């Protein structure tokens, strides 16, 4: 492992389809085992709550921490998240500010913006689940970017289901301020063809995509998760210390 990633945070994103697997069985315990297997410090979930009525959590709260070691920070007493977008963190990571956004769309869409205090220091994680239409996604990314721009500067990661099929077009506006990492194909989970799930980051961070543990069949969701390692970018002018020089052995 490169030295700069030895203390990295693992950040994952996973659209869990409210615990509905590819066998069309709703199995929350199976979903929790899949989340635990990611071994992430921070996880953004999409479709973590049911859509109807009071939007109750699709995952049992009493098992969440026991099975994953994570706690939710963006929900309320009924919902795990906001518009189904939840943010789970290790208990030693502290949520300092939580913003719940209603995104412009003909369909209900939202985002969560959470300022965290972690082992890396302050970090802002934005969880998104963008719309089905490209014009809607562009408006939503503009809205998220403008909202973040109005906050105090902080190292930022955006993660979630971007619902964008193309790796070349459709997300250009967010690319003005963020690096969008190369996308793996995550949908459908049984035979991934489309790179719908993405991670983007600001220039204060170094981020690299990580291998994802193999999920047992039937898959816990119709999406596959993504995982990235996140660390601070060295300040300009700084460099790693030179390795110690070895003295020649006496003859």
- C-alpha span between 38 and 16 (Å, rounded): 13
- CATH of residue 109: 3.60.10.10
Laid out side by side, the sheet with 110-118 consists of 94-102, 110-118, 121-129, 156-161, 197-201, 179-180
**Are 169 and 200 within 8 A, CB to CB?**
no
Query: Is residue 245 in some structural domain?
Result: no
What mean pLDDT do residues 151-166 have?
95
pLDDT digits (tens, 9 = 90+) for 106-125: 888 999 999 999 999 999 99
Examine the pLDDT at 210 and tell me if it is beyond 80.
yes
Determine whether 228 is exposed, middle or buried from the number of CB atoms within 10 Å of its CB (0-12, 13-18, 19+).
buried
Query: Is residue 16 in some structural domain?
Result: yes
Examine the pLDDT at 84 and tell me if it is beyond 80.
yes
Query: Is residue 62 in some structural domain?
Result: yes
How many angstroms separate the Cα of 70 from the Cα of each of 42, 77, 91, 176?
Answer: 8, 17, 6, 33
Query: Is residue 15 in some structural domain?
Result: yes
Q: Confidence class of residue 237 from pLDDT cuts 50, 70 and 90? A: low
Neighbours of 6 (CB within 10 A): 9
Domain with 205 in it: 3-232
Query: Is residue 184 in some structural domain?
Result: yes
Note the pTM of the prediction, 2 decimals. Answer: 0.90
How many domains is the chain partitioned into structurally?
Answer: 1
Query: Is residue 244 in some structural domain?
Result: no
- C-alpha span between 56 and 86 (Å, rounded): 12
Q: Confidence class of residue 247 from pLDDT cuts 50, 70 and 90? A: very low
What mean pLDDT do residues 51-79 have?
90
Query: Is residue 179 in some structural domain?
Result: yes
Query: Is residue 249 in some structural domain?
Result: no
215's CB contacts (< 8 A; 6+ apart) are 34, 37, 189, 224, 225
How many angstroms separate the Cα of 40 from the Cα of each of 90, 216, 224?
Answer: 8, 18, 15
């Amino acid at each position: 492992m490169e030295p700069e990633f030895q203390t990295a945070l693992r950040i994952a994103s996973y659209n869990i389809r409210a615990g509905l697997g590819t066998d069309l069985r709703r199995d929350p315990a199976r979903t929790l085992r899949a989340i635990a297997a990611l071994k992430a410090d921070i996880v953004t979930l999409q479709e973590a709550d049911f859509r109807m009525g009071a939007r109750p959590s699709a995952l049992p709260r009493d098992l969440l921490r026991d099975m994953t070691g994570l706690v939710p920070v963006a929900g309320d007493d009924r919902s795990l998240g906001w518009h189904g977008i939840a943010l789970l963190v290790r208990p030693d990571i502290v949520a300092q500010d939580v913003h719940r956004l209603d995104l412009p769309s003909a369909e209900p869409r939202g985002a969560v913006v959470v300022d965290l205090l972690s082992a890396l220091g302050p970090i802002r994680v934005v969880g998104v689940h963008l719309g089905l239409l490209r014009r809607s996604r562009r408006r939503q990314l503009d809205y998220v970017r403008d909202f973040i721009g109005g906050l105090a500067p902080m190292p930022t990661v955006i993660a979630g289901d971007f619902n964008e099929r193309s790796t070349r077009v459709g997300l250009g506006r967010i690319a003005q301020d963020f690096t969008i990492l190369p996308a793996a194909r995550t949908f459908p989970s049984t035979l991934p063809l489309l790179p719908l799930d993405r991670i983007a980051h600001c220039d204060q961070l170094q981020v690299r995509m990580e291998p994802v543990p193999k999920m047992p069949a039937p898959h816990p969701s119709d999406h596959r998760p993504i995982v990235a390692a996140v660390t601070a970018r060295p300040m300009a002018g700084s460099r790693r210390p030179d390795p110690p020089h070895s003295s020649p052995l006496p003859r």
